[in-house]
Amino acid sequence: MEISAKTPVYCVIGHPVGHSLSPLMQNRAFAAAGCDGIYAAFDTADPKGAAAGIRALGIRGASVTIPHKVGIMDFLDEIDESAREIGAVNTIVNSGGKLRGCNTDGQGAVRALGENISVSGKKVLILGAGGAARAIVHALKANGADPYIANRTHEKARLLAQDLGAQAVSMDEISGGSFDIMVNTTPVGMHPYTDAMPVPESALAPGMYVMDIIYNPLCTKLLTKAEAAGCHVIDGAGMFVYQGALQFSLWTGRDAPVAQMRQVVYEHLQY
Ligand code: ATR
């Protein structure tokens, strides 16, 4: 694909962003969809300047990553209702200089689950009560699921549950068989502490769907033990790919080439 003077430019803003797989994934998506577009990474500690730059340069869309998902909101013209309820933005859409903030993280997780199981009416246990948990619980509610939140600091689980109309459960109350789906949103098991898991093995039961949003490593100890216990497992590439696929559609109005996006992510995460 040739880059011309008319090629639409997209980017990710964050600090740091050197490790981000979004440029590889989105550029593969533009190529696979036969869609004119180029996607770059900008490492910036200045969300206000970044928003002004996106407007001034006519950058058509941006992904927003750590640490700007909350801070960027002050500098946008409009925030989607769901992003406002989640309290964070991971996507900017630039329509003629007007910047709209959206959040595809939670829907991305639900789509990744949806490849395996419909979440509607299911009891879903969310481990953790931070920003990722908030986005996922919000999307689960919007898709008719029944979310429960368990967190090391129970008070945070209680407050999040109260805020989003979910339920809080104590870590000690979790036992295998009580939930249809479990999603780990904590960093427990992430490189370099790969020998840790966020719940004891007794929390796993055959037939349960277990998703980890960690993708470093792809096969966490939680997923290894879950598979051995007879659970269906969904690795962290799923949510990452689908949050990016939803961004691609918001920017281009087209279906995203999910298979090719997943392929490039797997090519760079298999280690
Ligand atoms: P993110 O925004 O990516 O979701 P976060 O806001 O830092 O990240 O939230 C991380 C979540 O993982 C928190 O709920 C945190 O629990 P606390 O509220 O008790 O801090 C949880 N978490 C982090 N490290 C953990 C650990 N070692 N064991 C259990 N839970 C942990």
Q: What is the pLDDT of residues 23-48, one digit of tens each?
A: 999 999 999 999 999 999 999 999 99
Report the alpha-carbon distance of residue 59 to residue 174 in Å, rounded.
46
What is the predicted pLDDT for the residue at 180?
97
Structure-token match 């966490």, residue found: 220
What is the predicted pLDDT for the residue at 232?
98
Report the share of the chain in percent with pLDDT over 70. 99
CA distances (Å), origin 44, targets 68, 91, 122: 9, 16, 40
Binning pLDDT at 50, 70 and 90, where does residue 154 land? very high
What is the predicted pLDDT for the residue at 271?
52
CA distances (Å), origin 28, targets 9, 21, 32, 263: 14, 11, 6, 9
- Cβ atoms of residues 113 and 91 within 8 Å: no
Question: How many Cα atoms sit within 13 Å of 261 on the Cβ side?
Answer: 26
Options 6, 69, 122, 225, the catalytic residue: 69
**103 Cα–ligand 1 center, Å:** 20
From atom 30 of ligand 1, which residue's Cα is the shortest distance away?
152
pLDDT tens digits, 88-133: 999 999 999 999 999 999 999 999 999 999 999 999 999 999 999 9
Cα Rg of the chain, angstroms: 19
Report the share of the chain in percent with pLDDT over 90. 96
pLDDT tens digits, 240-264: 999 999 999 999 999 999 999 999 9
The encoded tokens of residue 222 equal 């939680």
Binning pLDDT at 50, 70 and 90, where does residue 173 land? confident
Which of 65, 136, 152 has most ligand 1 atoms within 8 Å of CB, for mutation?
152
Helices (H), the chain: 22-33, 47-57, 81-86, 105-114, 131-142, 154-164, 221-228, 237-252, 258-269
What is the predicted pLDDT for the residue at 161?
98
The encoded tokens of residue 252 equal 């281009």
Binning pLDDT at 50, 70 and 90, where does residue 1 land? confident
Which domains does the chain carry?
9-103+238-269 (3.40.50.10860), 107-235 (3.40.50.720)
Answer yes or no: is the C-beta of 188 below 6 A from any ligand 1 atom.
yes
Report the alpha-carbon distance of residue 42 to residue 54 in Å, rounded.
11
From atom 8 of ligand 1, which residue's Cα is the shortest distance away?
130
Task: Over range 192-196, report the average pLDDT.
Answer: 96
pLDDT tens digits, 206-221: 999 999 999 999 999 9
Q: Is 69 a catalytic residue?
A: yes
Binning pLDDT at 50, 70 and 90, where does residue 193 land? very high
3-state secondary structure of 185: coil
What is the predicted pLDDT for the residue at 175?
84
Structure-token match 């840790």, residue found: 196
